[in-house]
Amino acid sequence: MTHSAHEDQDFRALVGDVKPLRRSANRADPGQRRSRPSEAQLARRESAQAELGENNFLSDDFVELVPPFDPLAFRRDGIQQGVVDRLRHGGYPAQSRLHLLRRPLAECRRMLPPFIREAYAHDLRSLLIVHGRGQEIDSPANVLRSYLAKWLVQFDEVQAFASAQQADGGLGATWVMLRKSERARADNRERQQKRRG
C-alpha cells in the first residue's frame, strides 16, 4: 500500500501540531503509589483476624463429602416434616440471602456466623444461602456444600435446612429456617393473651 504525499498532508492537517511521545514516557501515570500499611494498621488487621478465628466455632476439619446430586436436608427434633417440605419448596419468602458462590472456603467459614447471628437478632426466620454445586464430588463447590451441611447443624439457631427447588437455585442453594428469638416468642405470647382476653 502506498501513501501519496497528498494523503500525508491531509493527515497532518487533521491532527495538527502533534509531537511524538518519548520512548520512556509511553506509559500512563498511575498517580501516587499506595503506601504500605502502617505498623498500627497491620496490628489491627492481625487482631481482627485472630478474633474472628478465635470466635469461630465452625470446624474446618475433615468433612464427609455429600454426593453432588444428593439434596441436603436436616431438621431438629420437634420440627414437623411439613415445615421442612414447605421450606424446601420455597413456601417461606427469603428474608435474607447469603451468596458464597466461588468464594474460598475460609472466607465462607468467616461469613456464615455473622450472617446467622444478624438474621437471628433481627427476628428473620427464612434464609437462602447460595453456594453452588459441582459435577464432581471433590469440586470446590461441592466441598463447600458439604461443609455448609456440617456447619449449619452446629448453630443452635438453625431449626432446619433443605436444598432449594430449581427455581431458587436447585442443589446449589439451601433454604435455612431459624428458630424464633426470645423476643419474638414473648411477642407471640403477648398477642395470644390479648386474643384470649
CATH classification at residue 148: 3.30.1370.110
Taking the mean position of all CA atoms in its chain, how far away is CA 55?
Answer: 19
Q: pLDDT of 39-91, one tens digit each? A: 877 777 676 655 555 567 888 888 999 999 999 999 999 999 999 999 999 99
Task: Cite the DSSP H helix spans in the chain.
Answer: 5-15, 39-55, 81-88, 105-121, 140-153, 182-196
Quote the pLDDT of residue 79: 93
Tell whether 91 is covered by a domain: yes
Strands 126-130 and 96-99, bridge-based pairing: parallel
Residue 80: give the domain boundaries: 73-186
Tell whether 64 is covered by a domain: no
Tell whether 129 is covered by a domain: yes
C-alpha span between 84 and 75 (Å, rounded)? 7
Quote the pLDDT of residue 160: 97
- State the total domains in the chain: 1
